[in-house]
Chain A
Amino acid sequence: MRLFALFAALLLCTSAFAKDAAPMAQDEATEQRMIAISQDLRCLVCQNESLAGSRAELAEDLRREIRGLIRAGKSDQEITDYLVNRYGDFVRYKPPLKSTTWLLWFGPFVLLAAAFGALIAFLRRRNRAFGNQADMVEPLSAEEQRRADSLLRNNDGPSPS
């Protein structure tokens, strides 16, 4: 019982430190759009979190800013641009296709093509090497052919001796 009281007290402590939930915007539609936009944006404070999911103060400020822009009648594209102009392309989880991001977009495909090229070259070279070997094998002489035939005939199973 005492232990239970202690745990209850501990639980109360943590709830006292927990932050209040950020106030929801009055209208549901604004909130939905804000979440849709901010899911594709990176929180710069904790970089592996989206702006929609982050509890960082800056993320809260930016979400508030996005709500304001939505109410001001801006389009999704305009709102994303607003943030990109201030924080750079890095805030976007879907980087735009432009000359500085070509390597990012096409690099993996270039590597894949190079790997395929290397594989084909390797297989060709190996085939050629084996082909040459087959050509180089001298045909059996009459004596050798006779011995081979007799071995094949007698070798139906392993010899007991």
Chain B
Amino acid sequence: MIRYLAPLGLFVVLVAFLALGLRHDPSEVPSPLIGKPAPMFELPQLVDPSRKFSSSEMTGKVWLLNVWGSWCVSCRDEHPMLLELAKTHTLPLIGLDWKDKKADAARWLEQFGDPYTVIVADPDDHVGIDYGVYGAPETYLIDKQGVIRYKQIGAITRKDWDGKILPMIQKLQAS
């Protein structure tokens, strides 16, 4: 009996591994920065470069850092979700305009609306590299002590927001 069941068992194990492999998206690389202090930065604002924004202004607040670009197609998919969450005034949403031109970004915001509390421009990609950004959109959830708690790779969907991100924010804000 076992002689016939053993290959079947091996086959089931193989299928399980393959199924897991198919579900796993290799482009989602877990960030080593989770649980570590978010890199500090001071960058010119996108709309008015003479004004600076420093990440230290966010100390004591739970906030989101959303990396986007006007060239990025997934950002366009994510945009309605960001507009919606901006309306709820849950937390400050800081935009990092990544590898983008100012004029393009401005036109994009005019066309689709601006959900951001503040947008900073990072033309040299120094802050992007510090945060380990390798694509857009990426979103970092940073707590009151300035520690990165979560990184969303790719667009935030309604399911991500309701199921994962919002509960985390509420917990962090309560603490």
A36 at the interface (CB under 8 A from B): no
Interface with B: A12-20, A85-93, A140-148, A151-159, which one?
Answer: A85-93
Nearest chain A residue, comparing its CB with the CB of B131:
A86
Nearest chain B residue, comparing its CB with the CB of A42:
B29
Interface with A: B30-38, B76-84, B103-111, which one?
Answer: B30-38
Residues of A89-139 at the interface with B, using a CB-CB cut-off of 8 Å, are 89-90
B129 at the interface (CB under 8 A from A): yes
| B29 interface neighbour in A62, A65, A88, Cβ under 8 Å | A88
Q: Which residues of B contact A85 (CB under 8 A)?
A: 32-33
Given the complex of chains A and B, what is the CA–CA distance between A8 and B29 in angstroms? 44
**How far, in Å, is B127 (CB) from chain A's closest CB?**
11
Given the complex of chains A and B, what is the CA–CA distance between A44 and B135 in angstroms? 9
Residues of A60-88 at the interface with B, using a CB-CB cut-off of 8 Å, are 61-62, 65, 84-88
| A47 interface neighbour in B26, B32, B125, B130, Cβ under 8 Å | B26
Q: Which of A44, A45, A62 has the most CB of B within 10 A?
A: A44
B132 at the interface (CB under 8 A from A): yes
A57 at the interface (CB under 8 A from B): yes
Are A45's CB and B31's CB within 8 A? no
| B31 interface neighbour in A47, A57, A58, A88, Cβ under 8 Å | A88
Q: Which residues of B contact A (CB under 8 A)?
A: 26-27, 29-33, 99, 125, 128-132, 134-135
16 residue pairs of the A-B complex, CB under 8 angstroms, read: A44-B135, A45-B134, A45-B135, A47-B27, A58-B125, A58-B134, A65-B129, A85-B32, A86-B32, A86-B129, A86-B130, A86-B132, A88-B29, A88-B32, A88-B132, A89-B32
